Structure 1
Amino acid sequence: MKRFFHIILLFTIILFGCRCTSTETNRCLTEVDSLVRRNQIDSAFRIINRVDVANLTSSTDSANFFLQKTRLLYKLYKPIKSTEMIDYSIRYYENQNDNIEKLTEAYFYKGVVLYEHKQIKDAIVYIKKAEYVARKLSTHPIKLQIYENLFVINEESGERQLALKYAKKVLDIANTLKDKVQLARAYNNIAVAYNKLHQTDSANVYITKSMKMLHYIPRNEQIYILNNIGAQLIGTDPQRAKAVLLKAISIAPMGAAFDNLATIYMREGNMHRANELWDKALKTNSMQVRTDVMTSRFRHQCATADYKGAAETAQQLISAKDSLYKSWKENDIRNNQMAFDNIKAEQEYEHKTEMGIFTIVLLSLSLVAIFLFLRYRTYKARNALALDQLRIKDFECQIADFEKQGQAKEKEIEELYRKRKNFLEKHRENLSEGHKLYIDVMEGKTIALWRKKEFENFIEYYRLINMSYVDALEVEYDSLSPKNQFFLIMEHIGKSDKEIMRIMGLADGSIRSIRSRINKRRIVY
């Protein structure tokens, strides 16, 4: 019995020791992310398999776990039966404004999973979503994956120009990151795109660059570059092309490599070997490769007068091309991408328009607020000046009264002069300017270049001379402009129409118009 208990205890320790506890889950996920970034995928997968879903106690950990698990399954070419895990991550990260990187990854991995499930239209939507969200990131490895997959999608669907565009985007980022592996891939992809566009010279330039960096590529991935190198060399160096292609298929079977090798053997006259390779190539799942194989075989059969074989191949080729065309038409890769881009462009335009309108409204409100504040400040300053002018006038009246009383009031007079001086000093700048303007006018100088401020300073100074008259102007007229107040002051101090015209720079007949406008402002009680 005791031995049985020890066995159970040992089994329990082993069982729980192989799982990440709740407190260790976050650490495990952080370690997984670190391993993935160092391309240690197998190690990362072993660790994530230790995470018990029951220990995912927070939405953050759950979203991160499902994202990491989907990413690792995809990278290890393991089947992903549904998108439920990554859908959870997307829902979570869409509501988090501070985790653009993970939202980008979630969109991307849902897109590539859907693409593997042949749900092409939906796949494009999510990969394009990832592309647009990734624009908010600085140069980041996820952008490489997005652009590389968009290259593949467009290349497989025959959209050569779009494929070239994304291959060059990969190259730009790879150069920035100084990522040798991605540089080699980018050179290869650009060569493929140029080759499909029949720009052989450009294709050769990039194939040469790719060949020089082949050793940076993991061996299991070299097959794609080797096949492209071999395809490029067929026309110029068939023996070297054969060696490269044989090396490619020694790594793993590849339909396109079989087709290229078959072309070489056909040209050498070894039709038995060529047909063997074509038969192998036709077993591929790639409809494009199968179409290419049938085309090569059909051309050879026609050239060798094998009309019966050519007729059979032609039937198969027509069927394959119809299927390929139907697939392209149904998925409409180019238009789907363009539609998504147009929608995003329209959304961005609407957003910019809304922001522009908001900015204009905000700016307008700010200007109105500033204007009202300045008006209020001016009104307050003028009101304060008017009150102080009343006090100054009162001091002057008191001084006059005390001076009549002789020496007995010298101290009081001195104190009143001091107070008067303080108030004058308080408004010295405005009153000094007003005094200067008043002297200019009295000397007959023109005011043709005066602005509103000059008229206001003149009027405030004149208030010291004849406060009752200036106050009367404000009471008897409705919002009379400073210029019109100046006109009435000129009349009040006895200036003739001719003098007023000269001082104010008025033309003949203008005085009549001014008086008419002023009379319309008079308040009738």
Structure 2
Amino acid sequence: MKYNRFLLLLLPVICSCSQNKTMNKLTQTDSLLDRLETDSVKKMLCGIDTLNTSQESKVYYKLLFSQYQYIVDDNFQDTTLLNDCIRFYEKKNDKEKLARSYYYKGECCFRNKDIQKALFYEKYAEYILKKGDLTNKRNLILYQKICEGLAFINIQFGEYRLALHYAKLALHSLKKLDDKRYQAYELGMMSACYNQLKQLDSTAICLSECVSLLPHTDVNCRGYIFSILTDYYLDKDKRIAKQYLDSSFCYTKDALTYLGSGNYYYAINNKKKAETEWKSGLVYTDQHFIIAKIYRRLAEMHKENGDMAGYSYNIEKEVKEKSKIYEINNGVKVGEIQLGATNSFFIKRLLSNVECIIYTIIAAFLCMAIIAYIKFRLYKKGIKRKHNKSMSEKTEELQTTTTELKLAKAQIKSLKKESAKKSDRIERLNNDIMVASQSSAANAQCGKELYHHIKNGGTTVTWTKQDYELCMAYCKIEFAETMAEIERCYGNIAPRKQLIMLLQHLNYDYAAIGRVLGINSNSVRKNIARITPLTK
């Protein structure tokens, strides 16, 4: 007997030691993944037995396995294991692992060309991680990856300001980590964004920093950096551009490298070689924005040679590739998707709070039922002990208990009614949110049509006050800086006056403004004179 008891006491200790050993192995594997030691990671994963471990260890193993598959297999797109991780870590409230699960799910969606889901999940990962501790090294490494991924996606879809914002965040994170291996890559993305935004001084500063960081840069990133430097020096020093081009081919042969090579040969007037290099680049990529760039360069070359058939063919190809980007995105702007993701986070948070309230009510109901049941059982046991009491006392006690039970049932019914009312209220709130979002989109479209009506030569003679308000609401988005300046100078003036001042800022003369408003030039001059600035 004593021997059996000893074994029973020893069994939980043995199980606990085994689980701790498995968790230690998983933690070591995680550290190896951070250092991209994939061979060691594979050995560790193969040596871990997850059959007799805790649920937490099994889910952690699934996360590490998915992360490993994503790194070693460029075609890995399966999110089944990651979905299990998300469900578990949402319940456990482990922000770092939950954010990591959402990030890799977003990357898998991006590989599957589902850009809306990719952006949504990566934005959600960023949102979760920001609520955590970004001073933690592992959190900061993940945050840098998320920002880099968002910057890359935004560059592909022409959202250069958003891409620049995320590239700066990624660079700042790398500087905090004192990791110089990938800083040049982030600076390269920043220079590409600055170049598209025509901020040439900032482009030059970023590229000079890239050159200084090249000795420390990871080998896999050097080809990309040399390609950017090749394009930058084409107009400045073709000898240096050729050196960078040769260096880029030493590290990688991809579409960007061949695009830069074609640009170089085109710059030195070797158009045949340039065309060959550009066409070679088409073989190395399936990214539509790079393919569109190559077709644009081919079209420009054919136009310069007077080959209009070749020009129209390549322009048609470029338009087709750009339309594929639009189809992938379902016609929604990338910036709008990210704004929608943020709104979805708020709604999800609101719904989770409501769920907590409902669960609290249910828990209270169960507690009351259990208490009533316990009281009833104690009462029955008390009857057996009190044989000496009279029947009248027993009857009185039974009546008291029955009354308590009736009260408990009445409370249960009232709680059920309150729960049903709150469920209806939640449904109404969701409907109101949906209607509000549809109304907002309709107002924005209406404002856009009114502005284009003016732009196409229409007048505002028949406009109502609401028409002016809708038009100016759209203009505050389209001409944000100009409208902000008007508001600073003149304060909160009427929409019609705002339109007059906007047209003046857009270089409309008095006659043109008069045609829009349906009045003569003198009336326009008087209207402008009546609009007094805040500070004279």
Structure 1 CA distance, aligned partners of 2:201 and 2:73?
Answer: 35
Q: Which runs of no fewer than 5 residues in structure 2 stay unpaired?
A: 1-17, 135-139, 354-536
1:455 paired residue number: none
1:178 paired residue number: 178
The 8 Å contact of residues 67 and 106 in structure 1, kept in 2 or not, is answered as yes
Structure 2 counterpart of 1:288, which letter? F
1:373 paired residue number: none
Stretch moving more, 136-145 or 31-40: 31-40
Q: CA deviation at 1:136?
A: 2.2
The 8 Å contact of residues 120 and 331 in structure 1, kept in 2 or not, is answered as no
- Percent of residue pairs identical: 24
1:305 paired residue number: 306
Structure 2 CA distance, aligned partners of 1:271 and 1:237?
Answer: 19
Q: CA deviation at 1:182?
A: 3.4
1:282 aligns to what SS in structure 2? helix
Q: CA deviation at 1:210?
A: 1.2
Structure 1 residue 136 corresponds to structure 2 residue 137: no
Q: CA deviation at 1:314?
A: 2.4
Distance 1:234 1:45, change over 3 A: farther
Q: CA deviation at 1:349?
A: 9.1
Cα displacement string for residues 327-378 of structure 1 (whole angstroms, at most 9, x for unaligned residues): 34445322110111234357779999xxxxxxxxxxxxxxxxxxxxxxxxxx
2:24 paired residue number: 27
Q: Map residues 311-330 of structure 1 onto 2, 5 A cutoff.
A: 311-330=312-331
Stretch moving more, 102-111 or 175-184: 175-184
Structure 1 residue 57 corresponds to structure 2 residue 53: yes
Cα displacement string for residues 177-227 of structure 1 (whole angstroms, at most 9, x for unaligned residues): 222123222222211211122222211110110111122222122111121
> What TM-score does the superposition give when structure 1 sets the normalisation length?
0.59
The 8 Å contact of residues 32 and 48 in structure 1, kept in 2 or not, is answered as yes
Structure 1 CA distance, aligned partners of 2:288 and 2:262?
Answer: 18
Structure 1 residue 103 corresponds to structure 2 residue 98: yes
Structure 1 CA distance, aligned partners of 2:231 and 2:52?
Answer: 50
The 8 Å contact of residues 124 and 345 in structure 2, kept in 1 or not, is answered as no
Distance 1:80 1:144, change over 3 A: same
2:111 paired residue number: 116
Structure 1 residue 237 corresponds to structure 2 residue 234: no
Structure 1 counterpart of 2:86, which letter? I
The 8 Å contact of residues 116 and 329 in structure 2, kept in 1 or not, is answered as no
Q: CA deviation at 1:93?
A: 0.5
Structure 1 counterpart of 2:156, which letter? E
Structure 2 CA distance, aligned partners of 1:77 and 1:204?
Answer: 36
2:38 paired residue number: 41
1:205 paired residue number: 205
- Count the aligned residue pairs: 333
1:222 paired residue number: 222
The 8 Å contact of residues 224 and 256 in structure 2, kept in 1 or not, is answered as no
Q: CA deviation at 1:158?
A: 1.0
Distance 1:296 1:78, change over 3 A: closer
Structure 1 counterpart of 2:100, which letter? E
Q: CA deviation at 1:24?
A: 4.8
Distance 1:301 1:72, change over 3 A: same
Q: CA deviation at 1:112?
A: 0.8
2:182 aligns to what SS in structure 1? helix
2:6 paired residue number: none
The 8 Å contact of residues 191 and 206 in structure 1, kept in 2 or not, is answered as yes
Structure 2 counterpart of 1:43, which letter? S
The 8 Å contact of residues 291 and 321 in structure 1, kept in 2 or not, is answered as yes
2:84 paired residue number: 88
Structure 2 CA distance, aligned partners of 1:56 and 1:206?
Answer: 53
1:294 paired residue number: 295
Structure 2 CA distance, aligned partners of 1:73 and 1:50?
Answer: 16
Q: Map residues 271-282 of structure 1 onto 2, 5 A cutoff.
A: 271-282=271-282
Q: CA deviation at 1:32?
A: 0.4
> What TM-score does the superposition give when structure 2 sets the normalisation length?
0.58
Stretch moving more, 220-229 or 125-134: 220-229
Q: Which runs of no fewer than 5 residues in structure 1 stay unpaired?
A: 1-20, 353-525
Structure 2 counterpart of 1:263, which letter? N
2:92 aligns to what SS in structure 1? coil
Structure 1 CA distance, aligned partners of 2:52 and 2:276?
Answer: 53
**Bigger Cα Rg:** 1
The 8 Å contact of residues 180 and 216 in structure 2, kept in 1 or not, is answered as yes
Structure 2 CA distance, aligned partners of 1:37 and 1:291?
Answer: 35
Q: CA deviation at 1:76?
A: 2.2
Alignment root-mean-square deviation, CA:
2.6
Structure 1 CA distance, aligned partners of 2:235 and 2:147?
Answer: 30
2:121 paired residue number: 126
